Amino acid sequence: MKAHDGMYIGGAWRPAAGQDTIAVVNPADEQVIGHVPAGTAQDVDDAVRAARAAFPGWAATPPTERAARIAALRDVLAARRGEIAETVTAELGSPPGLSQVVHAGVPVLVAGSYAELAATYAFEEKLGNSTVLLEPVGVVGAITPWNYPLHQIVAKVAPALAAGCTVVLKPAEDTPLVAQLFAEATEEAGLPGGVFNLVTGLGPVAGQALAEHEDVDMVSFTGSTAVGRQIGATAGAAVKRVALELGGKSANVILPGADLARAVNVGVANVMSNSGQTCSAWTRMLVDAERYEEAVALAAAAVAKYVPGERVGPLVNAKQQARVRGYIEKGVEEGARLVAGGPEAPREQGYYVRPTVFADVTPDMTVAREEIFGPVLCLLRYEDVDDALRIANDTVYGLAGAVWAADDAEAVAFARRMDTGQVDINGGRFNPLAPFGGYKLSGVGRELGPHGLAEYLQTKSLQF
């Protein structure tokens, strides 16, 4: 795999300040596929200076011109789609089909949506005797995880650029190659130097230096709750804006009148996709007592199609593999009924985990409470609709969810009572314009579409 040995700062690849590197490993075969520099506080400082220097010019660039550059970026991402998919498969381990359609495909959609929004968004509004100007927040520090590595970059960078902000990105240490490819794409798209900057490195070093940097106006972070809390506290103390997307434990609620087979099959696919490494995955399936055993049998049959190394890839690294296997052991220990999968590794090589289904899961069990981030589905039984609602909301998280019912009206009535940021109604389709983000510990702020753009804007009111 192609890897740059420098940082992308101020529109050029520059040598890193330090000597340390990070080895990038293919989780499917555990082979090292490249090295990238491990950034230091010095690299972060250089990148923030470049972003600051570029900010006035980019903020003053007419939105239609910013839109044209984002459209060019979308076109480069579309043209390099094959290369992007191969890179994500190599560093994340996702199956080629998923890499093509989701990891390489969704960023094209999202970049396209922001090319359009930048051109059409009302950056000025009239309110009585005031004119309200919506101005960019400034220099944005973006810190992203590895699970949807390019999507999470584009979901931050595209709206920031549309708003007129400049960006310093610190991508996940496990997936830096697609981030380097993205930096190349920004250059090819003709973004002025310094508008987008990349510093690869470790979270507690480069990530923390970026989050703490005095001249960063906003931090946008996606990842674990533990790191998110820390970043939120740092941003709070510095009185700077922060957006946090911190994962979930979402419910897939199958109401008594729903098409059970469809709801279970779509639910299993949702959890197994990307080896379960999806913050919005519906990892708790809620089924009424009467149809519970039928649902368990359907889920076990559906998950059998997810063969490790074929339809389902490995987890991103050995640590995540060990963590997820630990959760499966914990589920067995706490009395959940294993109906598919188990803690043993399914292959000798690669960080694979067996796609696992637990039945008889009760809301107090660890597997029902904590984010597992692996191919593990829990089936919970409810007595009536109020019980289903209580179980669905009995979590510290609130990122996503699904409701299946006899008709949309019944599903919507239930969804209105759920404490969560996004709900799919009877198998609703992905919408790149719909705001994405969490209630409760799932985070602060929203990504995607016009709501995602608004995160990077601040208002200035002129009175007449």
Please answer whether residues 43 and 75 qualify as being in contact, where contact means their C-beta atoms are separated by less than 8 angstroms. no
CA 359, CA 377: separation in Å to the nearest integer?
9
- Told to judge if 378 belongs to the known catalytic residues of this protein, a careful annotator would answer no
Binding partner of residue 145 among ligand NAP, Mg ion, none, CB cut-off 5 to 8 Å per kind: ligand NAP
CB closer to ligand NAP, 301 vs 345 = 345
Residue 367 is a binding residue for ligand NAP (CB under 6 A): no
Instruction: Report the relative pairing of strands 12-15 and 139-143 from DSSP bridges.
Output: unpaired
Least distance from C-beta 353 to ligand NAP, angstroms? 12
Residue 200's H or E segment, with its range, is none
CA 167, CA 196: separation in Å to the nearest integer?
5
Tell me which of 10, 37, 136, 207 binds ligand NAP, using CB under 6 A. Answer: 207
Please answer whether residues 194 and 51 qualify as being in contact, where contact means their C-beta atoms are separated by less than 8 angstroms. yes
Taking CB positions, which residue lies at the least distance from ligand NAP? Answer: 203
Least distance from C-beta 238 to ligand NAP, angstroms? 14
Q: Pick out residues in 198-257 that bind Mg ion (CB under 5 A).
A: 203
Phi, psi of 233 (to 5 degrees): -65, -45
Residue 224 is a binding residue for ligand NAP (CB under 6 A): yes
Least distance from C-beta 54 to ligand NAP, angstroms? 23
The whole-angstrom distance between residue 346's C-alpha and the CA centroid of its chain comes to: 27
CA 118, CA 66: separation in Å to the nearest integer?
7
Residue 309's H or E segment, with its range, is none
Please answer whether residues 242 and 339 qualify as being in contact, where contact means their C-beta atoms are separated by less than 8 angstroms. no
Binding mask 310-339 for ligand NAP (x = CB under 6 A): ----------x-------------------
Tell me which of 149, 223, 276, 314 binds ligand NAP, using CB under 6 A. Answer: 223
The residues, ordered by sequence, that sit 6+ positions from 226 with a Cβ below 8 Å of its Cβ are none
Residue 167 is a binding residue for ligand NAP (CB under 6 A): no
Tell me which of 25, 38, 67, 227 binds ligand NAP, using CB under 6 A. Answer: 227
CA dihedral 255, 334, 353, 391 (to 10 degrees): 20
Residue 222 is a binding residue for ligand NAP (CB under 6 A): yes
Sign of CA dihedral 179, 184, 185, 186: positive
Instruction: Report the relative pairing of strands 21-26 and 424-425 from DSSP bridges.
Output: unpaired
Least distance from C-beta 212 to ligand NAP, angstroms? 8
Residue 173 is a binding residue for ligand NAP (CB under 6 A): yes
Binding partner of residue 217 among ligand NAP, Mg ion, none, CB cut-off 5 to 8 Å per kind: none
The helix/strand/coil state of 441 is helix
Residue 455 is a binding residue for ligand NAP (CB under 6 A): no
Q: Which residue, chain included where needed, has tokens 């804006």?
A: 241
Binding partner of residue 208 among ligand NAP, Mg ion, none, CB cut-off 5 to 8 Å per kind: ligand NAP
Residue 245 is a binding residue for ligand NAP (CB under 6 A): yes
Q: Which residue, chain included where needed, has tokens 């972003």?
A: 51
Q: Look up residue 264 and give its two tokens.
A: 């279970």
Q: Pick out residues in 135-154 that bind ligand NAP (CB under 6 A).
A: 143-147
Stretch of 157-165, 242-250, 301-309, 340-348 lying at the interface with ligand NAP (CB under 6 A): 242-250
Least distance from C-beta 204 to ligand NAP, angstroms? 4
- Told to judge if 383 belongs to the known catalytic residues of this protein, a careful annotator would answer no
CA 353, CA 373: separation in Å to the nearest integer?
11
The whole-angstrom distance between residue 375's C-alpha and the CA centroid of its chain comes to: 17
CB closer to Mg ion, 55 vs 146 = 146
Residue 56 is a binding residue for ligand NAP (CB under 6 A): no
Please answer whether residues 85 and 100 qualify as being in contact, where contact means their C-beta atoms are separated by less than 8 angstroms. yes
How many residues does this entry show for the chain?
464
Q: Which of 86, 245, 371, 455 is catalytic?
A: 245
Q: Which of 86, 91, 165, 279 is catalytic?
A: 279
* Per rule CB under 6 A, count of chain residues that contact ligand NAP: 28
The residues, ordered by sequence, that sit 6+ positions from 383 with a Cβ below 8 Å of its Cβ are 288, 289
Least distance from C-beta 169 to ligand NAP, angstroms? 9
The whole-angstrom distance between residue 452's C-alpha and the CA centroid of its chain comes to: 13
Q: State how far the alpha carbon of 209 is from the alpha carbons of 25, 195, 462, 464, in Å.
A: 25, 19, 36, 43
CA 322, CA 452: separation in Å to the nearest integer?
34
Least distance from C-beta 322 to ligand NAP, angstroms? 11
CB closer to Mg ion, 18 vs 203 = 203
Residue 134 is a binding residue for ligand NAP (CB under 6 A): no
Q: What is the identity of the amino acid at 379?
A: L
Binding partner of residue 1 among Mg ion, ligand NAP, none, CB cut-off 5 to 8 Å per kind: none
CB closer to ligand NAP, 89 vs 317 = 317
Least distance from C-beta 202 to Mg ion, angstroms? 8
Q: What are the residues binding Mg ion (CB under 5 A)?
A: 203
Binding site for ligand NAP (CB under 6 A): 143-147, 170, 172-174, 202-204, 207-208, 211, 222-224, 227, 230-231, 245-247, 279, 320, 371, 373
Q: Which residues are catalytic?
A: 245, 279
